[in-house]
A = this chain, B = another copy of it.
Amino acid sequence: MTSGAGWEEQVFLPITNSISSEDNNQIKIGSSVSIEYNQNGQHVSQIDDKGLHNILVLTGYAIDESTGELVPTFDPCDYVKGILISGKILKGNHFKIIGIPSNKLYIIRKKDVHGNITFSLPIKNFNTGTYQVDLRDKVTSFVSLDRDVAKTIVDNVLAKIYAKIYNSLNKEQKDKLYRDVEEIFNYYSIKSLKSNP
């Protein structure tokens, strides 16, 4: 990070049941979103021998797990947690936040984060003139990650984004990372009442 110039452009990757890694430094979220990360990028979220740091909590949003898009719900109790990584959104509508002071973001397990951050997040239907969100017959429900999913996310996604540091961790440190991911990440998922009779 160059002093004063801010971080490289970041993408918010929600850590949920619906992420999977693809070839070519890509991550797929649901059916509609693809993210490309920079293998050697300056990620705001970091891994070290003590676990995962700088996790962003987005309140007032829930995730549509089928499409991978975030939905503004206007309920301050809804939230989605994720990581900020250097990269860009290849596919999917998105919302770009330019130069937000990092101290305005709700970041947990903070370590060495300062200055302004520019990031994008995948969002539902941002391509009409007047933005509309349709919440009829929608509910949000709390979702947590079980140990197996947490392990899969670490082995398939985080291990690739943070390849260099991940490969230097010993078994105990990797176990700590599995536990971190299982314990830290949970979120609200948006669902249609009609599809859950």
A residues in contact (CB < 8 Å) with B? 57-60, 72-76, 78, 93-101, 104-106, 116, 123, 126-127, 129-140
Cα A162 to Cα B94 in complex, Å, equals 40
Task: Kindly state the separation between the CA atoms of A2 and B140 in the bound complex, as whole angstroms.
Answer: 26
- Report the minimum CB–CB distance from A128 to chain B (whole Å): 9
CB <8 Å contact, B93 and A130: yes
**Chain B residues with Cβ under 8 A from A97's Cβ?**
72, 74, 132-133, 135
Residue pair A98, B130 in contact (C-beta under 8 Å): no
25 example contacts (A-B, Cβ-Cβ < 8 A) are as follows A57-B76, A59-B59, A73-B104, A74-B100, A74-B105, A75-B106, A76-B76, A76-B106, A94-B130, A95-B131, A95-B132, A96-B131, A96-B132, A97-B133, A98-B132, A98-B133, A98-B135, A99-B135, A101-B135, A101-B139, A116-B135, A116-B136, A126-B129, A126-B131, A131-B131
| Chain B, residue nearest A75 (CB) | B104
Q: How far is the CA of A75 from the CA of B105 in the complex (A)?
A: 5
How many identical subunits does the complex contain?
Answer: 2
The 7 closest A-B pairs by CB, nearest first: A99-B136, A75-B104, A100-B135, A98-B134, A59-B76, A96-B132, A60-B60
B-side contacts of A96, CB under 8 Å: 130-133
Nearest CB of B to A95, in Å: 5
How far apart sit A78 and B105, CA to CA, in the bound complex (Å)? 11
A129 to chain B minimum Cβ distance, whole angstroms, is 6
Known: A59-B76, A99-B137. 11 other contacts (CB 8 A): A73-B104, A74-B106, A75-B105, A78-B104, A96-B133, A97-B132, A97-B135, A99-B135, A104-B135, A123-B131, A126-B131
A117 to B: closest C-beta gap in Å = 9
Query: Which residues of chain B are near A75, meaning CB under 8 Å?
Result: 104-106
Asked whether A136 lies within 8 Å of B59 as measured between CB atoms, the reply is no
